[in-house]
């Protein structure tokens, strides 16, 4: 942390800052320049509120130098984190694709979709069982029965399972069925939930919140890792901007940024990131071209009658086309998509 | 809902839209203009996903005409909702001020602050007992003991109590101590929590999420009202924009907008809305000048040693000055602040 | 400027940074902490691109400590800048109100509006003569003839004149008619225009761009002041956010922020800031309550037939009501509005 | 345009709206539903301000159905616009790459860079001659001499030239040297400039403003086309959001959206879109994977000593690597990059 004093700060004001630092057990490093004095604070500043110093007399600006996360940073762990889930390694050279419906609707539906996405090369089946929705008047999910149906369909086709946990009370039930626990964008800063997931032996996929900075996304990962669970996957799924043509603006650049700042794998969700089917292919390709370690994509055999998010679900043949394109793009940057060739 | 067909849409495509509407039990109203056909959908469209129509052949654009909320709208209930809490009426001509520390820290602290804010004219004591924080390394609150201390301090000074509920599992314990249940910005779309609060006989204060539109804030109110609890208070507390000087940008205009769209009272939180003490007075005044029905303000007798958010807490004498200024401003627009004069 | 090295930076990398600083004639101040080395750069860094250092080997982060503007800063000039325009002093204890139509449309129109706003207490007449519009199909202004009509109307009622200059080629003609040269939001970073205005002996009102930070607004002021014209007035008029109910989100907090960072006066434009008449009164009051030094407001005697922006123009009687409310609010914070009482 | 009346609107209020429409020579189409009346306005609404209707008594909401642009829309011209510039066709199956320095600095510099980018497969040389900068204390460009040097270097290597026009007064001089006139992000709504360019027989590359919606970008194209110049190329270069890690957030999804709404070609600028060298490759690949018709990229043989924007300029060998990757990605989606193979 660096504290820049105003040009007209008095010696008393400078001493005031140094005294406050020593109360917090931080060492002060003083540099006196031509126009102003700068004080560097050395020590553990992770729990310091920089605003407390901004308000001291004579202070011009306070800057936190070190990122507030540690365990999630690439400085802490230079090598990529690789996470083994069934027969894939997330965060490796291989790009991993999860696909499936927004919601599990019936045995027949999930079985049909699992078969088709597996045939196209997906390794993980996605599907929601708990579906609280923006409108209190919409379909709310099959709950545990949905998880059971998804597990059976996945096993039949050699797929792993990823599904969203909405509340800490659902964790235990989900452990019986799910290989990756997904934390939705709205829960990215639900610290109660994150703490509970940090005690579970199961990878956690954290989606970026609609108005979350990349630093905040990494802080959420820090919560889980600091509690003991190192298997964290991040996911870009669109942020809110003034552009209204699509629901969200996918921040594709978050992918190379996360790769620079952190050792954790990062995926992209072009279905929620765009909200509309005909943009899923181009944005899925863009994410892989930018270096994403995987995608999570909504696919439905009959989107027009899907109980939720049909508008952003791909038809099976579109998903198959996407997989063929991604295969070429992945190879252009020295990666691959499983056994497709 | 209005569906605008492309200029080159065929009759078959138009019939396709009309057929889809009838499947959803909606009446279609067809208008044929010079350049294009427009189809109005009449009926209950609250659960329709407009994107399903955008993707039909020949469709140019789909617009939802009626707002997705009903019970929260001023069209549904033209008169202001007034909510009685102890001896104040929120949503009436009287502007109501809630004040207190970010977190309850000790009996002495909450008692001292309750005395001072009551003396300045606050009617409600605010204070947090459950404090999950952005950093896993910070103070996390006194929990139920904090609620108890706050209740005692409030009762001694004739104040009501508002405190944040973080999780549905805390509701029962809180009912013993709290007059208004606050839903934080990060939980604005925690639908599990909102549903539970809709069954409770206690006013609910819903804070706007950092990236929530005003319409989404009103949808969250709709969740609570549609479950049976009509006592909802809304609160503007800053949205996220590109401006970085303050943590958030307070959207003061949300106040008159909510008053136009809804019958519910709207407050403002200039402490979280700005994040820094010296902006709380001007923004508190601005909110009341724009017509806010109340404020929720952080006050601490020793902000430099507060366990959380000291940087945005007012000193008691600043709060007293604010109350005197607000009293004049409120009267400039035909309102008042309790018995201050 | 402070350069924070990575924890694993080598001595060679540290020396590389110091060498680069010395090439730029900057002194390096080295602080070695437990975990990392921090290098302070002392000297004139105003033309340094911080990214050049971010890309050097071993560098973690680069932070510009001093603001990139100087002459516009309160550190450079602690006292408020006061600007005399005819018989008012902008930036003084007195709040100054400019009002008038969006566009000058005819002699009768500008005369009628000048009479009414003067009667309500405005001191400055606003009106546009050059009106390039978003749509190429709309009314484009009366040009020099409009300026002439506005000057006559203003003189008759003892008002000063503010009008927007769209292009450097219009400056000379405007000098004959206009007391304050307004730079519109879209031109806030038109540096060609700003440089020309820096050579003119006339106050310049710079409106904040839709996506401009407060720092960028102050940099635009710096352009004008550094060229020799110290009479700069800033104006908040709404920024672009994800909220779509109004065209823009007025960042009321920019007012106290500018007052802290700079000695320049700051106004607000609630007409463009909201885009709709019924929000102009609450937002005008909010701006003055937050400490604005003035307002610029659109008023029209017949908004329904205004050639531009009628929807955001106040009726004369609404403007009169606003002035009465502002008078009380200004006094609540120790200011006044001219000779109204 | 569709006007939705409030549920409690009176017959008089409905007649008021219809009367106003007829004053504007628009036909009214009335639909009476169970809960409300909807009025469709048929005719040329391009110059109507929808807010004028929002303010009429009894009106709930007004929605513009048809986009405010026509000539730029794909409905008006279903086939892609192809623009021939020297020996390339922009908007065709071929992806076109423009590359070069931020600023022309000297004969040697531009010659060296032209040679290297041509060797890697670029077809167009980019470079700035007029460089007004955010800071008044920075390098401001070689002006006409720069254009001359760039033209010579381009001709020697068979390249076309694109350069930015900052002001209408520069157009004539530029016509002697430049094949494509670039309008910068800050000038996207400089309507004076756009009008002048609409009269010139030279393609115009319009960059999206930092806070411009896609619709506004298309409106700027409309300005140029409606004045007579149909050769418009659009360019995504990042928008401003709350994310601060990079200067801007590249809205990659704007590429497929523009392709859906318009027949005009769309490029991307990953250099300004990210502001930092190590993000240019991933974002350049992402743009092409999403379907961009071309890129404009900054390349410098010695970025550390570039007079402007060195931090976002690629080294020649990085640019060469990018071209090889793009070549594979382009072919994955059925396109190509010139004669590279």
Contact check, Cβ <8 Å, B291/C282:
yes
Please determine, for residue C156, whether its predicted confidence score (pLDDT) is greater than 60. Answer: yes
Yes or no, beta carbons of A51 and B222 under 8 Å apart: no
The bridge status of strand B88-90 relative to strand B96-100 is: unpaired
Q: Are residues D107 and D148 in the same domain?
A: yes
Instruction: Please state, in angstroms and rounded to a whole number, the distance separating the CA atoms of residues B275 and B270.
Output: 8
Contacts of A243 in chain D (CB under 8 A): 213-214, 239, 251, 254
Do both A201 and A304 map to the same domain? Answer: yes
Neighbours of C22 (CB within 10 A): 11
Q: Are residues D142 and D223 in the same domain?
A: yes
Same domain, D245 and D310: yes
| A322/chain D closest Cα distance in angstroms | 10
**In chain C, what is the greatest distance between 2 CA atoms, to the nearest angstrom?**
76
Q: Do D115 and D11 fall into the same domain? A: no
Residue C277 maps to which CATH number?
Answer: 3.20.20.70
pLDDT value of position C136: 61
Residue A58 C-alpha, separation from nearest chain C C-alpha, in angstroms: 11
* CA nearest to D9 within chain B: B75
C178-211 pLDDT, tens per residue? 999 999 999 999 988 999 999 999 999 999 999 9
CB pairs under 8 A between B and D: 64
More confident residue, A138 or C245: C245
Chain C residue numbers touching A43 (CB-CB < 8 A): 34
- Round to whole Å and give the CA distance between D282 and A96: 18
- Yes or no, beta carbons of A43 and C34 under 8 Å apart: yes
> What confidence tier does C4 reach under pLDDT thresholds 50, 70, 90?
confident
CB contact under 8 Å between A52 and B310, yes or no, is: yes
* Nearest-10 crossing angle of helices A254-261, A214-226: 40
The Cα B213–Cα B219 span in angstroms is 10
Residues of B in contact with A166 (CB under 8 A): 192
Residue carrying structure tokens 């820090």: A222
How far CA B24 is from CA of B41, B48, B59, B72, B112, in Å, comes to 10, 8, 17, 25, 60
Q: Are residues C145 and C35 in the same domain?
A: no
- Report pLDDT for B85: 96
Cα–Cα distances (Å) from B66 to A132, D34, D133, in that order, read: 22, 13, 47
**Mean pLDDT for the stretch of residues C259-287:** 96
Per the CB < 8 Å rule, is C211 touching D216?
no
Structure tokens at B149: 């201390």
Round to the nearest angstrom and report the end-to-end CA distance of chain B: 51
Same domain, residue pair B59 and B91: no
Q: Is residue C220 part of a domain?
A: yes
Task: Give pLDDT, residue D134.
Answer: 57
Q: Does residue D72 form part of some domain?
A: no
Domain identity same for C104 and C8: no
Interchain CB distance below 8 Å, B65 and D65: no
Burial class (CB in 10 A: 0-12, 13-18, 19+), C267: buried
For chain D, helix (H) and strand (E) counts, in that order, are: 11, 14
Residue C341's pLDDT band, with cuts at 50, 70 and 90, is very low
Both D132 and D228 in one domain: the answer is yes
Question: Taking the CA atoms of chain A, what radius of gyration do you get in angstroms?
Answer: 23
3-state SS class at A204: strand
- Confidence tier at C262 by pLDDT (50, 70, 90): very high
Q: Which residue of C has its CA nearest to A241?
A: C242
* Nearest residue of chain D to residue C188 (CA atoms): D186
Closest approach of chain D CAs to the CA of A152, in angstroms?
Answer: 35
- For the entire predicted model, the pTM comes to 0.89
Query: Could you say which of B33, B241, B244 has the minimum Cβ distance to residue D40?
Result: B33
* Candidate from D7, D38, D240 with C-beta closest to B242: D240
Six token digits for residue C168: 């450097």
CATH number, domain of C17, equals 3.30.70.1140
Q: What is the pLDDT along chain D (341 residues), one digit of tens a residue?
A: 888 888 888 999 999 999 988 888 888 878 776 677 888 887 777 778 888 888 888 888 887 776 778 899 998 899 999 999 998 999 999 999 999 999 999 999 999 999 999 999 999 999 999 876 656 666 678 889 999 999 999 999 999 999 999 888 899 999 999 999 999 999 999 988 999 999 999 999 999 999 999 999 999 999 999 999 999 999 999 999 999 888 899 999 999 999 999 999 999 999 999 999 999 999 999 999 999 999 999 999 998 888 888 889 999 999 999 999 999 999 999 999 975 44
Same domain, D27 and D168: no
Establish if B135 belongs to a structural domain.
yes
According to the model, what pLDDT value does residue D341 have?
A: 44
Contacts of A325 in chain D (CB under 8 A): 332-333
Name the burial class of residue B289, with classes exposed (0-12), middle (13-18) and buried (19+) by CB atoms within 10 angstroms of its CB: buried
Q: Give the domain-ending residue among B63, B94, B109.
A: B63
In angstroms, the CA B96 to CA B297 distance is 11
**Number of domains, chain D:** 2
* Smallest CA–CA distance from B190 into chain A, residue: A186
**Please, which chains are in contact with D (at least 3 CB pairs closer than 8 A)?**
A, B, C
Q: pLDDT tens digit string along A158-184?
A: 999 999 998 888 999 999 999 999 999
Tell me which residues of chain B have a pLDDT lower than 70: 33-34, 66, 132-139, 339-341
Residue C76 lies in a domain: no
- Nearest Cα residue to D262 out of D297, D210, D220, D295: D220
**What residue in C sits closest to B331 (Cα-Cα)?**
C328
Nearest to A51 among B49, B136, B311 (CB): B311
Indicate the average pLDDT of chain B: 91
d(CA A212, CA A219): 10
Chain D residues whose CB is inside 8 A of the C219 CB are: 134-135
The minimum CA-CA distance between A254 and chain B, rounded to whole Å, is 16
Q: Which residues pair with C262 in a beta bridge?
A: C73
What are C298-317's pLDDT values in tens digits?
A: 999 998 888 888 889 999 99
Nearest to D38 among B6, B40, B244 (CB): B40
Domain span including residue D20:
2-63
Q: From CA A21, how far away is CA A28, in angstroms rounded?
A: 7
pLDDT at D34 (0 to 100): 66
Q: Provide ipTM, 2 decimals.
A: 0.90
What count of other Cβ atoms lies within 10 Å of the Cβ of residue A139? 14
Average pLDDT over residues A44-62: 83
A34-48 confidence digits (pLDDT tens): 677 888 887 777 778
Smallest CA–CA distance from A288 into chain D, residue: D286
Query: Does residue D131 form part of some domain?
Result: yes
pLDDT tens per residue across span A102-126: 999 999 999 999 999 999 999 999 9
What gap in Å lies between CA C203 and CA C81, rounded to an integer? 12
Interface test with B, best of C243, C247, C266 (most B CBs within 10 A): C243
Q: Do C38 and A29 touch (CB under 8 A)?
A: yes
C317 burial level (CB within 10 Å; 0-12, 13-18, 19+): exposed
pLDDT at C134: 57
Q: Looking at the predicted structure, is the pLDDT value of residue A134 above 60? A: no
Between B6, B38, B42, which is nearest D40 by CB? Answer: B38
Does residue D280 contact residue D270 with C-beta atoms inside 8 Å? yes
Q: What is the DSSP string of B132-164?
A: --SSTTS----THHHHHHHHHHHHHTT-EEEEE
- On whether both B149 and B31 belong to a single domain, the answer is no
Q: Are residue B55 and residue B204 in the same domain, yes or no? A: no
The answer to whether residue A319 is domain-embedded is yes
List chains adjacent to chain A, taking adjacency as at least 3 C-beta pairs closer than 8 Å: B, C, D
pLDDT, one tens digit per residue, over C105-132 is 999 999 999 999 999 999 999 999 987 6
Q: Is residue B184 part of a domain?
A: yes
Shortest Cα distance from D42 to chain B (angstroms)? 6
- In whole numbers, what is the pLDDT of chain A averaged over residues? 91
Which one of B208, B252, B273 would you mutate to disrupt binding with C, by most C Cβ within 10 Å of its Cβ? B252
Chain A, nearest residue to D328 by Cα: A332
Alpha carbon of A45: minimum distance to chain C alpha carbons (Å): 12
For residue range A73-97, list pLDDT tens digits in order: 998 899 999 999 998 999 999 999 9
Position B341 scores a pLDDT of 44
**Of the partner residues A137, A138, A189, the one whose CB lies closest to the CB of residue B186:** A189
- Residue pairs spanning C and D at CB distance below 8 A: 98
Domain-located, residue C287: yes
Cβ within 8 Å, pair D51-C216: no
Tell me whether residues B290 and C288 touch, CB distance under 8 A: no
């Amino acid at each position: 942390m660096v504290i820049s004093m105003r040009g007209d700060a008095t010696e008393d004001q400078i001493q005031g800052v140094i005294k406050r630092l020593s109360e917090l057990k931080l060492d002060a490093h003083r540099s006196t320049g031509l126009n102003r004095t700068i004080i560097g604070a050395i020590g553990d500043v992770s729990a310091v509120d920089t605003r407390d110093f901004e308000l001291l007399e004579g202070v011009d600006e306070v800057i936190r130098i070190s990122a507030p996360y540690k365990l999630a940073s690439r400085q802490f762990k230079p090598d990529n984190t690789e996470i083994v889930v069934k027969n894939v390694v997330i965060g490796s050279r291989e790009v991993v694709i999860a696909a499936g419906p927004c919601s599990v609707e019936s045995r027949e539906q999930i079985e049909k979709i699992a078969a088709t996405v597996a045939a196209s090369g997906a390794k993980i089946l996605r599907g929601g069982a708990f579906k609280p929705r923006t409108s209190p008047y919409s379909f709310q999910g099959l709950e545990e029965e949905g998880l059971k149906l998804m597990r059976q369909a996945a096993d039949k086709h050699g797929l792993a399972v990823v599904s969203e946990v909405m509340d800490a009370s659902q964790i235990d039930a989900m452990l019986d069925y799910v290989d990756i626990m997904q934390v939705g964008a709205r829960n990215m800063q639900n610290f109660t939930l994150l703490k509970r997931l940090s005690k579970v032996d199961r990878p956690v996929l954290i989606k970026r919140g609609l108005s979350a900075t990349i630093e905040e996304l990494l802080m959420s990962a820090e919560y889980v890792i600091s509690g003991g669970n190192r298997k964290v996957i991040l996911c870009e799924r669109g942020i809110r901007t003034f552009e209204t043509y699509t629901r969200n603006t996918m921040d594709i650049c978050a992918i190379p940024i996360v790769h620079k700042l952190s050792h954790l794998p990062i995926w992209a969700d072009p279905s929620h990131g765009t909200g509309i089917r005909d943009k899923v292919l181009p944005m899925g390709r863009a994410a892989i071209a930018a270096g994403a370690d995987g995608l999570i994509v909504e696919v439905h055999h009959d989107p027009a009658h899907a109980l939720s998010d049909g508008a952003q679900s791909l038809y099976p043949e579109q998903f198959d086309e996407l997989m063929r394109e991604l295969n070429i793009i992945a190879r252009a940057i020295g990666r691959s998509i499983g056994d497709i060739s």
